[in-house]
Amino acid sequence: MALIIYLTASVIFILGIIIFRKKVTDYAFTILFLSAQWGFAIYEYYNQNIVQLDYFTPDAIGLIFLFVLNIVGTTSIFYSFIYFQHNNDAQRARSIYFAALLTLITSLSAAYLANHIAILWIFVELTTLSSSILIYHNRTEKSLEATWKYLFISSLSVALIFIGIQFLGLAVQQAKLSGMFFPDLYKNAARLDEFWLKAAFLLVFTGFTVKAGLAPMYTVGIDAKDKAPTPAAAIFSSAIMNVGFLGIFRMFEIMSKTTVYHWASIVVIISAAISVLISASYMVRVKRFKRMLAYSSIEHMGIIMLGMAMGGIGYYGAILQTILHSLAKSSLFYQCGSIFRVMNSKFIKDSGNYFELNTFGSVIVILGFFIITAMPPSGLFVSEFMIFRSMFEANYLWLMIIMLVLLSFIIWSMGENLFKLLFGKSENLQINADSKRISFFETLPQLLLLAGSVYLGFYPPPFLHNLIKQALVNLQ
């Protein structure tokens, strides 16, 4: 019942924004939606593992990502209000933006709780459509190019997932199972034909790499985060990457109950290692701030998937890393909005002297750099330590050394660019004279997100610890 009310309310609020197309109704319906979103998440938490509408179940992993989405979604809506306060967008464009943003959040919420692989596939496709609208918001030639790339590659990925589902269906049919609900697949995975299972995993995994930001289909995610408004880019770098991880995670749970689990782990390791290598290669020559953060997200997802492939404590570290990365990376994307307003440019070479121009924002940049690169006291230090420990325990010492070397290049490249922003001088520096001083109130949510990523890493509350452990039950 709660799910029906939530979905119905979301559709009403989205249609209200589209129909009325006024600033006051845009904001009013968005705030009402946000209230419904939090009410829905809280209700689902207190009704865990209860099947709703046959195809949705609020299990532990889905609830974790739902609450992460709510946190990032709330701050993205807050910064969307600020974004439109400083941009003279037409009312029609503003309404389309908020309608697409609410559609994206609703689609992600449903995808997280889907207990059937076909339903997950449907709502992932909806995230593609709503994301494309957000990417094209600025309606420039570059944003149009990024939108078409995103639509084309994402449609290809959806097709791959669909074919993978068909192969999985053949395995289910041969095993004489009743359907493709995830609980049934986990329980009967050992009965599935290995050939069709391998084919299904390979195609579904490849398809979800678009959303997760992994090799081989990571490319369009870079352009999407670069061209979309920063509040939307923050969701792309967290909640959308998480839904990609979730799709892979659910398939990996199935594989863990079969004799082809080791093969699936090798596939994941190859993709993850290549992703970190790609991130390190591009970070040394990246030219724009948002692209730098986007490539950093690829590195983090690569590390996360290595934790999944290694098993043991790596499982726990991988889930924890997704949570902490979502909070910290979103904070830095929001700060990019302030940087653009002050510097009047998205290019690293045109930046400098930011510490004097925006002291509060500079503190976020410094703290964000140490936290996102997993330096103590970053909470990501804890999760990455777990992941690297799992590599050591799995006798992948050579891989661990290679990853540490690549991470050193990434830290050096990111540090060079960010400290140039803070203290460097540039002949091309053009300060936006119309930009008002960024207030502490505007910067405060970013600070809270960074603080949360530290606190949750070292002192995860009991409910979060329990949710993570419950999410890993099928992998034990």
pLDDT score recorded for residue 34 = 97
pLDDT at 67: 98
pTM value is 0.96
Question: From residue 295, how far is each of 188, 406, 461 by CA, in Å?
Answer: 38, 13, 30
Question: Can you give the pLDDT at residue 429?
Answer: 66
Cα separation, 327 vs 322, in Å, equals 9
Whether 346 and 140 have beta carbons less than 8 Å apart is answered as no
In whole numbers, what is the pLDDT of the chain averaged over residues?
Answer: 94
In this structure, which amino acid lies at residue 314? Answer: G
Q: What's the token pair of residue 139?
A: 């309606």
181 forms beta bridges with: 116
**What is the spatial distance between Cα 134 and Cα 97, in angstroms, rounded to a whole number?**
6
pLDDT at 360: 92
Q: Which of 379, 404, 378 is nearest to 389 (CA)?
A: 404
| Stretches in the chain below the pLDDT threshold 50 | none
What integer pLDDT is reported at residue 115 of this predicted model?
A: 96
The amino acid at residue 108 is L
pLDDT score for 433? 54
Of 233, 246, 216, the C-alpha closest to 289 is 233
Q: Which of 18, 101, 109, 20 is nearest to 63 (CA)?
A: 109
What pLDDT, in 10s, does the model give residues 111-157?
Answer: 999 999 999 999 999 999 999 999 999 999 999 999 999 999 999 99
Sign of torsion, CA 435 437 442 446? Answer: positive
Task: Report pLDDT for 432.
Answer: 60
- pLDDT for position 321: 97
Q: How far apart are CA 411 and CA 31, in angstroms?
A: 38
- Cα distance between residue 144 and residue 346, in whole Å: 18
161 with 208: CB under 8 angstroms? yes
